[in-house]
Amino acid sequence: MKRINQLLVGSGILIVSACTTGQKPEKRSALMAHEDEITALIDRMTLEEKVNMLHGKHMFSSAGVERLGIADVEYADGPFGIREEMEPNSWNPLGLTTDSATFFPTGSALAATWSEALAYDYGTGMAKEARLRGKDMILGPAINIQRLPTGGRTYEYLSEDPLLSAALSVGYTLGAQDNGAAVCLKHYALNNQENDRGSIDVKVSARAMREIYLPPFEAAVREADAYGVMAAYNKVEGYWCSENAMLLQRILRDEWGFRGMVISDWGGTHSTVGAVTAGLNVEMPGSRYMGEALLDSVKAGVVSESVIDTRVREILRVRLTIAPIPRTEANKVMTSQPAQQQIAYNVAAHSIVLLKHDGNLLPIDSKKFKSIAVIGDNAVRRQSQGGVGAGVKALYEVTPLEGITNRLQESGVTIKWAQGYHGYTARDRYTRVSPYSDADPKLVTEAVQLAKTSDLVIFVGGNNREVETEGSDRIGITLPMGQDELLQKLAAANPRLVAVMVTGAPLDLRRAQEAAPAMLISWFNGSEGGNALADVLMGKVSPSGKLPFTFPLQLDDSPAYKLKVYPQEATQKQGDVFVNLVDKKEAAQQGGPVADYAEDIFVGYRWFDTKEVPVLYPFGHGLSYTTFTYSDLQVRADEKTLYATLQLSNDGSRNGEEVVQLYVGRPDSQIERPLKELKSFRRIALQPGEKKEVEIQIPLEKLRHWDETTNDWKLEAGAADVLIGSSSQDIRLSGTVQIAAR
Ligand code: BGC
C-alpha cells in the first residue's frame, strides 16, 4: 500500500491534501463561543506575554497572563486517576494529605466493559476529582491502538480495535468535559510501542493510519469536541509528532475541525519554528524551544506574530471554556469521593472476563467449600503505582485477598493465603533482571501444601505494574516469575483450581489453562478491584467483560512479530526519554530506528481471522454464568443506513449482561480487506427468562475504506455480510445486505 510520505515533499510541506473527505466537523465546537473576547485579549497582550503561554510554567502547568485575569492552565495526569500534587519543578510529590485520589480501572479494563455509558461515567469521575484539585485538563484518555501484545502501555490503552477504542474515547471525553474538565487525547499519533518511543520513525500506510490508528482520536474530536490533544514522542513519516504539519494541521484542525490546543508530551518538543508553525501550542514541561528561542524567532522575523496569535487563541479558547479554580478553592477536601469510588466499582464489576468455565467451580458456593486457599503475590499487591510513569496515590485499593475476605466474612469459610511466587519488583526492573525466571521452590512447596489442605484454590497471578510499564515494552508474554510451573503443581495438588489473571495486556495462557478448569481476567482494576472480583467469584455479579484484544497462542503468531518488523534491532538498548537519556540523544542523532507497520490494516483479530491463525482466546471473548440465545436476525440497508434487528434471550437461571457484537465482512470486495471488522456493539442486561429485541443502526459511512488513489474515504458497492456474535469467533447469526452503487 502507498505510504503517506508520498504526500510530503522534503521540507515538510504538504502538496496533496490527505484530507479531502469533504466532511465538515459534526457540530460547532463549544470552544468557539468566546472569539470576540479572545480577540480583545490578544490585542492587549505583549509579545512576551503571548510567548509565555506557549511553554510549561511548572511541571504540570502553563502560564496565563495575570495582568489580564487569564489564569494558568493546570494539567493532571491522567488517565486512570488524578495524580498527586508535585513540587513545581520536579517529579517529587508534595506530600499533601488531601490529594489521594480514586484509582480507576486502567484502560484495557475500561475497554473490556464494552460500554460507552461506563466510559462516560469514568470521564465524569475523573473530571470531578480533577476539579476538586483545581485542575483544568486531564492528561487522558490514552487511546493508542494496542498494536503489540508486549506494548509497555497496553494496560493504559483501550483496544486493538479502532471502533471499540473510538466509542470509549467518545464516552470518556463527553463525561469529562460535561463535568468541567478538558481532556487531552494522547498520544497523537502512532505511539504504539514504548521501546525507543523517543526516537522511532513510524512508517505506515495512509490506509492503516486512517482505518486503524486515527479513528479513536477522530471520533473524540468530531463527536465529543475534545478540547486538548497531546503530541506523541515518536516521529511519523520523518517528522516528530510535535512538529508534524500533516497530523497537527491538515488532519486534526483542517479536516476534523479541532479548535482546541495541542501540548507536547513531556520532553517531546524538538524545534522552535517547526513546532509552532506545524501547530504545537504548548511545549511541556520546559521552555527550551518555545520560550526565549521562540521570542527571538519572532523578533528576527522567522516566525510571524500572527502564528503566535493563532496558537494563543487556541489556548484561550480552552482557558475561557473551562472555568479556572482559584488556588484557595482547590484541595480543600480529599480527592477520592464515594461517588467516584462507586464508578470505579461499576467499571471493575463489568470488566472482569470469564475466559474459561469448566469444572462447575463458579460461582463459588460457600456452603460447598469450607476452606479456600488464595495463592499468589497479586492477591495482596496494590497496582495503583509501579513502573515508570503516572501512578495514582490511591486513597485505598482493595486487593483480591481483601475483597474475597470482605465478601466471605460471615460465611464461616476459612481463607488462607500463600505467596506462591515472587512479585517482580522495581529493583528487578532497574537491574534488568528478567521477569521470566523460574519458580521459587520454597514458595511453591508452601503453596502446594496449602492447596492440598484446602477445599478450593483461587490463584491470583498475572503481570504487575513493574512488568507492564511506560518506557519499555515487555520482552515476552509468558507468565512471569515461574507461574506456569507453580500452576501445574497446584493443579496436581488440588484440581479445584480457579485462576485469576491480573494483567493489562495479553498473556500466553496455554499452560495455565491446562492447569485451571476456570480462569478469569481481572485487570489492574482500580480502588474497588478486589471487591468487584469477589462479587464475580461469588456470583453476586455475573461476569460480562469481553476481551478488547486477542490472546494469541504464542507471541510469534502476532502480526508485527510474524513479519519481523518488531522488535527493531536498536530496541535492544531499550532507550527511552526518561529511562535512558544517553540513548535518546544518541538515537536522535542517528535518526532513530524505523518502526515499519508492515502488517498494515491487519492489526489484532483482523490479522488472525484473515490469515486463519488460531488463537487462544479471540477478540470479544467472555463467558457468563448464564446462557444467551440469539435469534431472528433481520438485516436491510437503505441509502444511508444499515439496520439489523435480532432477539436476545437469557435462557439461564441468573441475571446477566451480554455484549452483542456486529461485524461486517465484504465477500466480493475488489480491495484487500480483513475477513470481518467490528462495526457496532450493544451491552444488554437480561433477567432469567427475559427476551429483548436488539436494534442496531450503522451509518453506511462507517463501512467506508480509505482509498489511497483519491486520498479519501470510499464506500464500495456490493454484498456486505452482517455477522452477529458473542465474540469475533463465536458468530451466532448472519445475514447479507447489498450496498448500492452511488
Ligand atoms: C507520558 C504522558 C504523561 C506525561 C506527564 C509522559 O512520559 O508519556 O502520558 O502524561 O509523561 O506525566
721 lines ligand 1 (CB under 6 A): no
Please tell me whether the peptide bond between 189 and the residue prior to it is cis, using omega within 30 degrees of 0: yes
Q: Is 390 near ligand 1, meaning CB less than 6 Å away? A: yes
Reduce the DSSP state of residue 8 to 3 states and report it: strand
Q: Of 297, 285, 234, 146, which Cα lies nearest the Cα of 604?
A: 146
User: Does one domain contain both 241 and 279?
Assistant: yes
184 in ligand 1 pocket by Cβ < 6 Å?
no
* 59 lies in the same domain as 152: yes
Cα separation, 716 vs 705, whole angstroms: 8
Residue to mutate, 138, 265, 392, ligand 1, most ligand atoms under 8 Å from C-beta: 265
Are 308 and 364 found together in one domain?
A: no
Structure confidence at residue 4 (pLDDT): 41
Grid look-up 476481551 returns: 547
CA pair distance 307, 70, nearest whole angstrom = 20
Distance CA 52, CA 27 (A): 32
Q: Ligand 1 centroid vs 221 CA: distance in angstroms?
A: 20
Give the atom of ligand 1 at the shortest distance from the alpha carbon of 156.
Answer: 9
**Pairwise CA distance, residues 640 & 493, whole Å:** 60
Of 101-110, 414-423, 424-433, 446-455, the poorest mean pLDDT is in 424-433
Where does the pLDDT of residue 578 fall: very low under 50, low under 70, confident under 90, or very high at 90 and above? low
Give the residue, out of 89, 156, 470, with the most ligand 1 atoms within 8 A of its beta carbon, to mutate for a pocket test: 470
- Supply the range of the domain harboring residue 266: 6-18+31-91+98-329
Residue whose Cα lies nearest atom 5 of ligand 1: it is 266
Nearest-atom number in ligand 1 for the CA of 390 is: 12
Could you tell me if the CB of 222 is within 6 A of ligand 1?
no
Nearest C-alpha to atom 6 of ligand 1 is from which residue?
266
Q: How far apart are the C-alpha atoms of 264 and 157, rounded to whole Å? A: 18
pLDDT at position 570 is: 58
For ligand 1, say whether the CB of 76 is within 6 Å of any of its atoms. no
Ligand 1 atom, smallest distance to 83 CA: 12
Length of the chain: 742
> Which DSSP state fits 620?
T
Q: pLDDT tens for residues 95-110?
A: 999 999 999 999 999 9
Domain presence at residue 565: no
Q: Which of 139, 156, 392 to mutate to test the pocket of ligand 1 (most atoms within 8 A of CB)?
A: 139
Q: Which residue has its alpha carbon closest to ligand 1 atom 11?
A: 266
Cite the beta strand spans of 524-567 per DSSP E: 551-552
**75 CB within 6 A, ligand 1:** no
Contact, 79 vs 391, CB < 8 A? no
Q: What is the pLDDT of residue 12?
A: 30
- What SS3 class is residue 467? coil
Residue 592 lies in a domain: no
pLDDT value, residue 2: 44
Does residue 581 have a pLDDT over 80? no
Cα 61 to middle of ligand 1, angstroms: 13
For the segment 518-547, what is each residue's pLDDT rounded down to a tens digit?
999 999 999 999 999 999 999 999 999 999
Which among 525, 555, 557, 566 has a CA at the least distance from the CA of 543? Answer: 525
Predicted confidence at residue 703, as pLDDT, reads 98
CB of 265 closer than 6 angstroms to any ligand 1 atom:
yes
Residues 467, 35: Cα–Cα separation, whole Å: 47
A 10 A CB-CB count for 449 gives 13
Per-residue confidence band for 575, with pLDDT thresholds at 50, 70 and 90: very low
- For ligand 1, the distance from its centroid to the CA atom of residue 424, given in whole angstroms, is 23
Q: Is 266 in the pocket of ligand 1 (CB under 6 A)?
A: yes
Beta carbon of 186 within 6 Å of any ligand 1 atom: yes
Name the DSSP class of 564: T
Q: Are residues 121 and 266 in the same domain?
A: yes
Give a yes or no: residue 164 inside a domain.
yes
- Is the distance from CB of 51 to CB of 287 less than 8 angstroms? no
Domain CATH for 686: 2.60.40.10
DSSP three-state, residue 47:
helix
Sheet holding 677-686: strands in order across? 677-686, 656-665, 718-727, 730-739
pLDDT value at residue 580: 42
Cell readout for 444 is 511453591
Which of 239, 266, 265 has its CA nearest to residue 251?
239
In a domain, 434, yes or no: yes
Q: Which atom of ligand 1 is nearest to the CA of 184?
A: 10
Residue 612: inside a domain: no
**Nearest atom of ligand 1 to the alpha carbon of 186:** 9
Are 376 and 462 contained in the same domain?
Answer: yes
Q: Could you tell me the distance, in angstroms and rounded to a whole number, from the CA of residue 699 to the centre of ligand 1?
A: 36
Among the ranges given (4-18, 125-139, 453-467), the one the predictor scored with the smallest mean pLDDT: 4-18
Do 377 and 269 have their domain in common?
Answer: no
- The residue behind cell 526519554 is 577
CA distances, 702 to each of 211, 705, 706, 719 (Å): 10, 8, 11, 15
Extract the C-alpha cell encoding 595: 518502526
Out of 496, 511, 546, a domain closes at: 546
Mean pLDDT of the chain: 94
Contact 543, 532 (CB under 8 A): no
Could you tell me the distance, in angstroms and rounded to a whole number, from the CA of residue 448 to the centre of ligand 1?
Answer: 42
Give the pLDDT score at 590: 58
| Helix, strand and coil percent figures for the chain, each rounded to 5 | 30, 25, 45
Which DSSP letter does residue 160 get?
S
Is it the case that residue 742 has pLDDT exceeding 90? no
| 559 located within any domain | no
Interval 724-733: pLDDT, tens: 999 999 999 9
Stretch 656-678: mean pLDDT: 98
User: Ligand 1 centroid to 435 CA: how many Å?
Assistant: 24
Relative to the CA of 78, which ligand 1 atom is closest? 10
**Average pLDDT in the 681-699 region?**
98
- Nearest residue (CA) to ligand 1, atom 8: 265
Question: What is the band of 569 on the pLDDT scale with cuts at 50, 70, 90?
Answer: confident
Claim to verify: residue 146 and residue 293 sit in the same structural domain: yes
With the most atoms of ligand 1 within 8 angstroms of its CB, the residue from 266, 283, 388, 392 to mutate is 266
Q: Is 388 in the pocket of ligand 1 (CB under 6 A)?
A: no
- State yes or no: pLDDT of 691 exceeds 90: yes
Ligand 1 contact, 595 CB (< 6 A)? no
Write a three-state SS string for 267-332.
CCCCCCHHHHHHCCCEECCCCCCCCHHHHHHHHCCCCCHHHHHHHHHHHHHHHHHCCCCCHHHCCC
Q: What count of other Cβ atoms lies within 10 Å of the Cβ of residue 588?
A: 15
Give me ligand 1 centre to Cα 233, in Å. Answer: 10
What span, in angstroms and rounded, lies between the C-alpha atoms of 359 and 456? 12
b/e 707-740 (16+ beta carbons within 10 angstroms → b): bbeebbbeebeeebbbbbbbbbbebbbeeebebe
**Interval 289-343: pLDDT, tens:** 999 999 999 999 999 999 999 999 999 999 999 999 999 999 999 999 999 999 9
> Would you say the CB of residue 107 lies under 6 angstroms from ligand 1?
no
What separation in Å is there between the alpha carbon of 265 and the centre of ligand 1? 6
* Residue identifier of the C-alpha nearest atom 2 of ligand 1: 265
Examine the domain organization and report whether 386 and 519 are in the same domain: yes
The CATH number linked to 452 is 3.40.50.1700
Q: Ligand 1 center to residue 378 CA distance, Å?
A: 26
Asked if residue 157 has its Cβ within 6 Å of ligand 1, the reply is no
Does any domain span residue 515? yes
Which of 519, 546, 573 is the C-terminal boundary of a domain?
Answer: 546
CA-to-CA distance for 361 and 625, rounded, in angstroms? Answer: 11
Task: Please provide the distance, in angstroms rounded to a whole number, between the alpha carbons at the two ends of the chain.
Answer: 25
Dihedral, CA of residue 99, residue 104, residue 107 and residue 109, to nearest 10:
160
Q: Is the CB of 139 under 6 A from ligand 1?
A: yes
Q: Is the pLDDT of residue 8 over 60?
A: no
Rounded-to-integer distance, Cα 76 and Cα 82, Å: 6
| Residue 589: predicted pLDDT | 52
Counted domains in the chain? 3
In ligand 1, the atom with minimum distance to the C-alpha of 577 is 7
Cα Rg of the chain (Å, integer): 25
Ligand 1 atom, smallest distance to 139 CA: 10
Which atom of ligand 1 lies nearest, measured to the CA of 233? 8
Centre of ligand 1 from the C-alpha of residue 307, in Å: 27
- Quick: pLDDT tens for 362-399: 999 999 999 999 999 999 999 999 988 879 999 999 99
Q: Are residues 368 and 482 in the same domain?
A: yes
Ligand 1 centroid – CA 266 distance (Å): 6
Does 77 sit in the ligand 1 pocket, CB within 6 Å? yes
Index of the ligand 1 atom closest to the CA of residue 187:
9
**Does residue 403 sit in the same domain as residue 295?**
no
d(CA 371, CA 363): 15
Q: Is residue 223 part of a domain?
A: yes
Please say whether the beta carbons of 147 and 595 come within 8 A: no
- 21 pLDDT more than 60: no
- Quickly tell me which residue has 527493531 as its cell: 568
Give the domain CATH number at 47.
3.20.20.300
What are the pLDDT digits (tens) for 612-635? 999 999 999 999 999 999 999 999
Which residues lie closer than 8 Å to 353 by C-beta, 6 or more apart?
A: 112, 520, 521, 543, 545, 546, 547, 621, 622
Task: For helices 116-132 and 338-351, give the axis angle rounded to 10 degrees.
Answer: 150
Check residue 192 and give its pLDDT.
98
On whether both 135 and 249 belong to a single domain, the answer is yes
- Cα(228) to ligand 1 centroid in Å equals 14
Span from the CA of 207 to the centroid of ligand 1 (angstroms): 28
Q: For residue 505, which of 487, 482, 479 has the smallest C-alpha distance? A: 479
* Residues identified as active-site: 265
Do 386 and 523 fall into the same domain?
Answer: yes
